[in-house]
Amino acid sequence: MGSMEKISLDIVGLTYSQSQTGAYALILSEADGDRRLPIIIGNAEAHAIVVVLENMTPSRPLTHDLFRNFAETFNISITEIIIYNLKEGIFFAKLICRDDTGNEHEIDARTSDAVALAIRFGCPIYTFEFILAQAGVVFESEEPKQASKSAKVTVPVNAPTFKQYSLEELHNQLNSALENEDYELASKIRDEIKQREH
């Protein structure tokens, strides 16, 4: 595998899955390109990712928080995660971990778990060209290239604009969107909040 170049991925956000009810599509995008990688994940996994993206602090640690706390307690860090294979529509991922003596270990993981851990450890997410070639999609965006990379995946043309709301109102809307598990709306509100706070 040494010759295969790793392609860096960014997390775009979560949308409802068009194909599976009760599931979400985790959208990753190649850092230096136009392709997006939609990965179908379950509700619990979506929640584990969203709480971190939205800076929410659960009252008790979720499983992935526990995993991170456990690893950090014993000086193990995750240096990167790699989505390394795709078979019959299922993505395979692994964690590259380093222990306190500097030894590297690879641990197999579900992709949703790997991403939930990547955002908690702040480590990069990679994949390979053959996976993007197989499963990557290019969303035709109406806007010029330098437009924000936010999820424009299933946004209707008459998407609500948030211009008229104050920052405080936006935060309230964000919370209620999350309570309704409308992660798509939440991600749009979050993008608006981010743009304003810049």
Alpha helices (H) in 89-182, listed in sequence order: 111-121, 129-135, 167-179
Quickly tell me which residue has 């706070």 as its tokens.
Answer: 197
Contact 151, 12 (CB under 8 A): yes
Please report the domains of the chain, with CATH numbers, ordered by start residue: 1-141 (3.10.690.10), 155-198 (no CATH)
Q: pLDDT tens, 146-157?
A: 434 444 343 333
Average pLDDT for the chain: 83
* pTM (predicted TM-score): 0.69
Question: Considering only 3-17, 19-33, 58-72, 165-179, which range has the smallest mean pLDDT?
Answer: 165-179
Q: pLDDT tens, 42-81?
A: 888 898 999 898 888 888 888 999 999 999 999 999 999 9
| CA pair distance 111, 182, nearest whole angstrom | 22
Quote the tokens at residue 188. Answer: 């749009």
H or E, element range at 90: strand 90-98
Q: What three-state secondary structure class fits 113?
A: helix
Backbone φ and ψ for 89, nearest 5 degrees, come out as 80, 0
Residues near 70 by beta carbon (within 8 Å), at least 6 away in sequence: none
